[in-house]
Structures are given as C-alpha cells and as structure tokens.
Amino acid sequence: MSIQRIHSNERLSGAVTFAGLVFLSGQVPGASSDIGGQTREVLEKIDTLLAEAGSDKDHLLSATIYLKDIQADFAGMNEVWSAWLSPGQAPARTTLQAALARPQILVEISVIAVRR
C-alpha cells in the first residue's frame, strides 16, 4: 500500500491518504474576522481537500476542532458546523480551546475520513 501526499511542502501535507483513509492537516481560515465566517472558510477548505483525496464530508470518521476562545466561539462555530453536516453523518468529534498559530485565527479543524 502506498502513501499519497497532497499539497506537500517541507513542513506538512494538506492531506495524506493510506489504505482507504484520508488524514487532513489542521485547516485554518484566511480573511474572515468572525467565528461564523472563519468556520465556513475552513469547512470549504476541508470539502476541497477531501474531494481531491477521493472522499467527502459524509465519509468523516473523526474531527478535532480547536477554538481560540471556547466560551466566546463554541455556539457560533457549532451553528455553522451543524448546518454543514449532512443529517445522520456526524463524525466522532473533539472540541477544545487552544492557542492557535496566529492571533487572528479563531478556529482550526482537522479531520480523518474514509475514501469513497
């Protein structure tokens, strides 16, 4: 079985596939300033990477969501997340508060999925 790396650089790969599994690195937003906009941006990136790797959101196994401020942003992130998921397709999930790479980043999401 071979390992496929997608969008790799010297530090990381955007996605890695192996044995029917897809592992995405943590995805962060670009320009949006509020939690709703940032979450939508991140989920769009996840959709794109999953498609490139031969999967989609309905094949998620696990998600880890990092919030800069869980008290302030949990409800807003959850609203966008829940609207994005297909009914009955929620993955196992962990949400936690963390210091993120840049001060303006409010959310980072990493997922594991099965290839279609």
Tens of pLDDT, residue by residue over 32-90, are: 789 999 999 999 999 999 999 999 999 999 999 999 999 999 999 999 999 999 999 99
Nearest-angstrom CA–CA distance, 56 and 66: 21
Query: Would you say 16 and 3 are in contact if contact means Cβ atoms under 8 Å apart?
Result: yes
Spatial neighbors of 115 by CB under 8 A, at least 6 apart, are 17, 20, 21, 22, 53, 54, 55, 59
Task: Identify the pLDDT of residue 32.
Answer: 76
Instruction: Say yes or no to pLDDT of 31 above 90.
Output: no
Task: Identify the pLDDT of residue 84.
Answer: 98
Residue 48 DSSP SS3: helix
> What domains lie within the chain, and their CATH numbers?
3-114 (3.30.1330.40)
Query: Would you say 45 and 107 are in contact if contact means Cβ atoms under 8 Å apart?
Result: no
Task: Identify the pLDDT of residue 23.
Answer: 98
Nearest-angstrom CA–CA distance, 61 and 29: 22
Q: Considering only CA atoms, which of 28, 29, 31, 22 is closest in space to residue 49?
A: 22
Query: Would you say 114 and 59 are in contact if contact means Cβ atoms under 8 Å apart?
Result: yes
Instruction: Say yes or no to pLDDT of 1 above 80.
Output: no
